[in-house]
Structure 1
Amino acid sequence: MPQVHKPGRRMPPAASTLPTLVLVDDDVALRSALKFALELDGYRVQAYASGEDLLAADLPSCNVCLVLDENLPGMGGLDSLEALRGREVNLPALLITSHPGPGLRRRAGRLRVPIVEKPLLDDVLVRNIRKVLGQPPAA
């Protein structure tokens, strides 16, 4: 059945125009909760448990943002990003972490990756995603 626009109601964007977030976090509960919340905010979400899973995935090439946890077993978030960039996969990204020390901040700065600190309170993650994707702030 086709969607009918009703005055005063916002039509959801077509699925092909929705940004895709590629979320990598090894914490099953957090990954599931973030995926759910981000989908409620109108994003498509591909979720992975490790950097290795990310590198094996078929990633979208446009209208996408990587959301990478730094502290992963095996390959961490920035290591995963460096591996992707070594393959000339230059997607916008942001890093989520609980303890961004000076070394991590320098490394993220060199890669031009903003850091979002956990706990992820309010809409800080979505605000940073919108910024990385070049979207205007939510009204």
Structure 2
Amino acid sequence: MSATLTILADPRPRVLLVDDDPALRMSLEFSLDLEGFEVVAMESGEALLRLGDLPHTGACLVLDQNLPGVTGVETLRQLRSRGVGLPALLITSNPPPAVREAAKRVEARIVEKPLLGDTLTAHITAAIAAE
């Protein structure tokens, strides 16, 4: 079987990860892969919005709030308006009340940075299990 077919047939839960910090993005991609997730990582909300078919189940969106250009909440708002109902986590530090309210409106759970231990993994696992 070719590598492409293996990737396409990957049965692991998928995480669509968006963070503009290359070091953090690569670190999260590596650790989530070790935890058993298939990770699709990108650097911007715009990159996520350009993706064609998003999975309908078995996946979780993980977005940094403070992205350049389109923020995490705005990216989720646009995805929700397109009918994308995947569970979503918004990662950020010290979110102000306005961000907390906006996250609720797009049905995103906030996970505060720093991301210590298995906090993010636990939230992803719970979000996928609850869908």
Q: Which runs of 4+ in 1 moved over 4 A?
A: none
Structure 2 gap ranges (5+): 1-8
* Higher percent of residues as helix: 2
SS at match of 2:107: coil
Q: Which TM-score applies when normalising by structure 2?
A: 0.87
RMSD across aligned positions (CA): 1.2
Structure 1 gap ranges (5+): 1-14
Partner of 1:84: 79
Which structure would you say has the larger Rg?
1
Question: Of 51, 60, 63, which residue of structure 1 is paired with 2:55?
Answer: 60
Post-superposition CA distance 1:34-87 (Å, at most 9, x none): 000000000000001000000001322221100010000000111001111111
Amino acid at match of 2:104: G
Q: Which TM-score applies when normalising by structure 1?
A: 0.83
- How many residues matched? 121
Give the drift of 1:107. Answer: 1.3
2:86, 2:73 → 1: CA distance? 13
Q: Percent identity?
A: 51
Amino acid at match of 1:33: S
Higher RCO (C-alpha 8 Å, min separation 6):
2
Partner of 1:95: 90
- Superposed, 1:28-47 pairs within 5 Å as 28-47=22-41
